[in-house]
Structure 1
């Protein structure tokens, strides 16, 4: 094992017996790849070896998919619900969420839509002071944690280059990590202006992924029930 891990003699034996205090991260990564550990096995090893979960997944593809049951969960939710991966790419969503967008075209990436499109800047009320800073913060954090993630690297570059959101992204001080328990105002295409109450969770099978439920409450004087439901 030591030869395969390119380590000094007896290193793996000491690690396996718990005699290697605070083993280095590169050793844990090497052991995980050599033994082809699952995400749960790799996480358990880190927790016992270093007292916390791994900062980065063992494989780059981890977190890019979720079990099909998450689509079933979205379909069974009456409120808007969607699931994204660690780079905010949409993995699952329900019909109520599709209603949020022009011609019900759900974006491939929610962070890109919220931060870089004119549609979002019209739909998300108080975009510059409320939505943009709170969305930019977790993107910055995710990229800092996973600088080798190509999707996050591309998103980071595009946000920095954008003349409108660039200053918010690079200079913002918002410390938001996830939209759990956050209330924001938006203008729903079907129901007009109102309050979006967000509840967020994290699928255990996909590190970095997030599942978000948006509970929308239209303003009492802004509801637009006269509009037909899109096909």
Structure 2
């Protein structure tokens, strides 16, 4: 017979609800992070991480790494790792990165896990992430009739279409679009109308943001040196509005070599598999 509380309900009803483990979804279902963790553990062969091959043994065949393998390789107890994989406890951001590197998370899986666990997007696992843009983006750019291009995280141009080439009076696309916007007289005194008031105050903060994200990148460091050596550019590098970090939706004056004076509306997006890269379309309207 259930014990009755003073309020008339049973003691079970009056008790505080059981807390849900931190890494589980409503109903007790394993979180996305736990599912990724288990899937990745089962997909990694012991020999690929320096462990001896597992010989025949009685009982069910074990594929991939065991929990004790992961625990040992990451200097944790088996109990600690088991609690994390089951959703009973949460890893620190540092241990999440350790697990992601060992178990070869994709960048997208790592971002999802960090957002789920901590609500923040982490720095890429691979320091080279954002330097290689998948070739499928070349087809996407070629199919665009407006001026369009894709640059990597250092602003080096990866792909562009014919319409984009037509915006350069010289007929040649630059290697680095940020360098062209900041330092080229073709841009500053020609194509990018009202450069000092409409373009430079919005371009240099984007470069600042890239430097903050990748302070040791040699391409960005070299460009910074050249900007600081250019008196006209340095003024904006030192005193620009660093709260402005993307151009999506902007409308700016523009001189097209073939179509004349007008305005471009900038539409910016990012290849999700290449952090920091950007896909930009310039919608030109004649004045």
TM range (shorter): 0.7 to 0.9
TM-score, normalised by the number of residues in structure 1 = 0.85
* Aligned equivalent of 2:26: none
- What is the match of residue 23 of structure 1? 92
The residue correspondences of 1:110-189 to structure 2 (distance < 5 A) are 110-122=177-189, 123-189=191-257
* Count of aligned positions: 217
The residue that corresponds to 2:167 in the other structure is 100
Partner of 1:224: none
SS of residue matched to 1:104: coil
Partner residue of 2:81 out of 12, 19, 27: 12
- Which of 157, 171, 176 is matched with 1:90 structurally? 157
Bigger drift between 14-23 and 56-65 goes to 14-23
**1-side partners of 2:192 and 2:217: how far apart?**
28
1:140–1:156: 8 Å Cα contact kept in structure 2? Answer: no
Asked whether the equivalents of residues 23 and 50 of structure 1 are also in contact (C-alpha less than 8 Å), the reply is: no
Q: Secondary structure at the match of 1:158?
A: helix
In the TM superposition, residue 193 of structure 1 has moved relative to its aligned partner by: 1.5
Question: Partners in 2 of 1:2 and 1:151 — Cα distance?
Answer: 39
Q: Tell me, which stretches of 5 or more residues in structure 2 are unaligned?
A: 1-69
1:35 is displaced (CA, Å) by: 1.2
Shift of 1:14: 4.0
Q: What's the TM-score once normalised by structure 2's chain length? A: 0.69
Give the greater-gyration-radius structure (CA): 2
SS of 2:274's partner is coil
Match of 2:262 in 1: 194
CA contact (8 A) 1:82 1:94 kept: yes
Query: 1:128-154 deviations in whole A, cap 9, x for unaligned?
Result: 111111111111112112223332233
Rounded Cα–Cα distance in structure 2 between residues aligned with 1:22 and 1:29 = 9
CA distance in 2, matches of 1:95, 1:157: 31
The offset of 1:196, in angstroms, is 0.9
**Distance in 1 separating the partners of 2:150 and 2:264:** 17
Q: Assess, with a 3 A threshold, how the Cα gap between structure 1 residues 68 and 14 changes in structure 2: closer, same or farther.
A: same
Q: Report which stretch shifted further, 195-204 or 14-23.
A: 14-23
Structure 1 residues 49, 76: closer, same or farther in 2, change over 3 A? same
Runs of 4+ aligned structure 1 residues displaced above 3 Å come to 6-15, 17-22
Is the 8 Å Cα contact of residues 147 and 162 (structure 2) preserved in structure 1?
yes
Shift of 1:20: 4.4
Partner of 2:251, secondary structure, is strand
